[in-house]
Amino acid sequence: MKAAFVLTFAALALPSSAALAGAPFPPNTLSCDGFIKRPDGNWATRPDMKPIDIGEAKGVTLSNVIIPRGLLVIRGVDVWELLNEKCG
C-alpha cells in the first residue's frame, strides 16, 4: 500500500509531457477491459484489472481508483488522456 502511494505521488509530480508536446503515447499494455468510463467523464478501475506497462513504468497496479484528468500521471503520461485515446 505504501509503495502504491509513493508511485502515485511521484507520478503526480511529473507533468504530462506527451500531452504538452502533442506527442503520441509511449508503448503500453493498458487494456480497456480493466477500466470503466463513468458518467462524469472520469475513469474507474475494475476489480479484476491486470497490471499495466506505460513506457518504462512496468507492472503498475491500481485498485479502487477513480481517475480524473491530470490526477494520475505516470512517467509523463496522463492516464486519463491515455484512456480516452485508447478506450474513448
> What local confidence, expressed as pLDDT, does residue 23 receive?
64
Number of domains in the chain: 1
Query: What is the CA 56 to chain-centroid distance, rounded?
Result: 13
> Which pLDDT does position 3 carry in this prediction?
43
**Residue-range definition of the domain harbouring residue 15:** 2-87
Residue 78 has a CB neighbour count (10 Å cut-off) of: 25
14: nearest Cα among 73, 54, 61: 73
Give this prediction's pTM. Answer: 0.73
Percentage of the chain with pLDDT > 90?
70
Quick one: cell of 62? 491500481
Q: Measured between alpha carbons, how far is 34 from 24 in angstroms, rounded to an integer?
A: 21
Give pLDDT, residue 22.
Answer: 59
Stretch 23-34: mean pLDDT: 93
